[in-house]
Chain A
């Protein structure tokens, strides 16, 4: 099953199970079913709870916040992640603050679905990875879609938590297959560890690795491609860790693994500077200092807006070869 289909099925399951769940967004109604078709079939089945909205990103985030405040559950689809900037006030200054700023716990069951990332030629205003702008906001969790994590389970978790969450969906994943049963290809295997689960991608033996890459779901294929090549060409085994929840990110359960790595690399598509990757690196430095054998390496896109033309876009964004070069240089 493709990732977008799994996500769509997850939303259908949630809508059957939760009579108090609403979905708001632009062009999400049938027969169109959303810009990426993730909401297909939902408005036909649940016309009163799946609400196509005007072009009002801030407004619909507020309406969802109001529904959540009144005790309902709400999911908002932001058509392209770049536009989440228009929702910033409602997410950061209303939804997340309201959880605790009234001196009491106010549960807000609210998920913002946010398609992100480039490599699809959508150009500067439709390709950004805005994760970093939402790091470290009290009472706000950040999740990222991955081909390893069952979307229904992740959505259940986000909605039951009682605090708003942003769910980043790297658009590149929509047409990729979901993985099941621990098998990726003839070289790579995976399993899920921890809670909330982190996917651990390995080569044959999960305890045999020289480096560990930590990366969100959208980067998984690029990292796996680099891992595969490095193993086939140089017989250097590595490990990839893909967390479902980016923030808060509990590195504690992963420390036994990370302490054994010769090299640690954190990869993400955001431009460097105040990013998730640097946040992860910082928390690893403070816990693994004295055990680290090399500085932690970060992989980011170039400090640039994202061009439209494929050859220019390719140069700016993190690619499989960017990751490969970093791994190779580290392990040289």
Chain B
């Protein structure tokens, strides 16, 4: 499907109305990520973190399509994935800051989270074979459940991706690979690291591929409902490629993209589009989420350090 996309970006008229809940989640993730960059600037965070600014709508689209028992594998850029699954900004921030109440006691940090059937890891491509294994477990269990793995375009350079795709299709397993194709891998533009296309690579394994453009959450979701159901009920692996843009740096403060590329990303941001299309709803909810995140930051920052019984 192609949502209305102009050369200069998504037009304001191109998005459908959104439930408060969905817009709330979008804005929660946006405010959370901005708060993280701010905390970094203040020197309050250890190590590194990768924000999903510009890509928040992807897990928001997918949220109602997933069952709690579905396995979700996230990657280094996973805050949005986590917040869309668990409405738990305090737990996530505590994890990132190593404070009491941290999801994984501060051991995993931004990139390594495990909660229920949700898991993330910092090794690119590693999760795909793991997702195939859990998909096999689910398929054997007889329930219509699936495993979903998020990866970036750059991760298609890893061999494990292809080993996993081969087995998923060979063994007809309920696997969804969500590709967040944000046109860049760390500092390397996709055209400098990928030959051919993701669509053709999926096709080579006989796996269904679907490319999604634009940021209209409702429209994309409606488009995906039958595809995800097919994976779930017919064990048909699926590659969903989101044509998206990374608004912020790769990790904190390491953006050396040309200004016109950054501008192009901004022109495709969902944020001004929804703000312009539904100003009253947007401002109301944004204020609520902004306040909520500020409270979470104040609360978590004041907590004692996390403890870990090894």
Contacts and interface: CB of A to CB of B under 8 A. Distances in A.
B112 A66 contact: no
Given A48-B140, A59-B164, A93-B123, A69 B130 contact: yes
Interface string A42-76: 00000010010110101111111111111110100
A89 interface: yes
Contacts of B133: 62-70, 74
B104 A66 contact: no
Contacts of B14: none
A130 to B, nearest CB: 20
Contact of A59 (B103, B104, B105, B160): B160
A65 B113 CA distance: 17
A59 B114 contact: no
Contacts of A69: 119, 130, 133-134
8 contacts: A54-B163, A54-B167, A56-B166, A60-B163, A64-B133, A94-B121, A94-B123, A94-B130
Interface of A: 48, 51, 53-54, 56, 58-72, 74, 89-90, 93-94, 98, 100-104, 106
Contacts of A53: 167
B43 interface: no
Contacts of A71: 137
A313 to B, nearest CB: 31
B71 interface: yes
Interface string B286-310: 0000000000000000000010101
B160 A66 contact: no
A94 B123 CA distance: 9
Contacts of A103: 102-108, 306, 308
B137 A72 contact: yes
Given A90-B126, A102-B114, A58 B163 contact: yes
A66 B108 CA distance: 19
Contacts of A63: 129-130, 132-133, 136, 164, 167
A91 B83 CA distance: 29
A103 B119 CA distance: 13
A104 B123 CA distance: 20
Nearest to A24: B133
Contacts of A106: 114
Among all A-B residue pairs, the 8 with the closest Cβ atoms? A66-B133, A62-B129, A59-B163, A103-B105, A103-B104, A102-B114, A70-B137, A56-B163
Contacts of A59: 129, 132, 160, 163-164, 166-167
B108 A102 contact: yes
Contacts of B119: 69, 102
Interface in B11-66: none
A62 B107 contact: no
B196 interface: no
B112 A67 contact: no
A135 B104 CA distance: 27
Nearest to A72: B137
Contact of A67 (B103, B114, B137, B308): B137
A54 B205 CA distance: 13
Interface in B158-191: 159-160, 163-164, 166-167, 170-171
A54 B162 CA distance: 11
Nearest to B71: A70
A102 B164 CA distance: 24
Contact of A61 (B114, B128, B129, B134): B129
Interface string B87-121: 00000000000000011111110001110000101
Nearest to A65: B130
A72 to B, nearest CB: 6
Nearest to B307: A103
A98 B131 CA distance: 14
A163 to B, nearest CB: 14
B166 A66 contact: no
A60 B147 CA distance: 16
Contacts of B308: 103
Contact of A89 (B108, B126, B131, B171): B126
Contact of B164 (A51, A62, A74): A62
A98 B119 CA distance: 10
B112 A101 contact: yes
B220 interface: no
B135 interface: yes
A111 B308 CA distance: 27
Interface string B123-154: 10010111111111110100000010000000
Contacts of B163: 54, 56, 58-60, 62
Contacts of B147: 66
B45 to A, nearest CB: 18
B140 A66 contact: no
B178 to A, nearest CB: 17
A42 B42 CA distance: 60
Contacts of A54: 163, 166-167, 170
Given A48-B140, A58-B163, A104-B105, 11 more contacts: A53-B167, A58-B159, A62-B128, A66-B134, A69-B133, A94-B121, A101-B112, A102-B104, A102-B119, A103-B104, A103-B308
A102 B112 contact: yes
B155 to A, nearest CB: 13
A98 B113 CA distance: 10
A66 B132 contact: yes
> Most A CB atoms within 10 A — which of B102, B119, B126, B163?
B163
A48 B134 CA distance: 15
B107 A102 contact: yes
A51 B308 CA distance: 38
A66 B113 contact: no
Given A62-B164, A93-B126, A102 B113 contact: yes
A104 B137 CA distance: 22
A60 B130 CA distance: 9
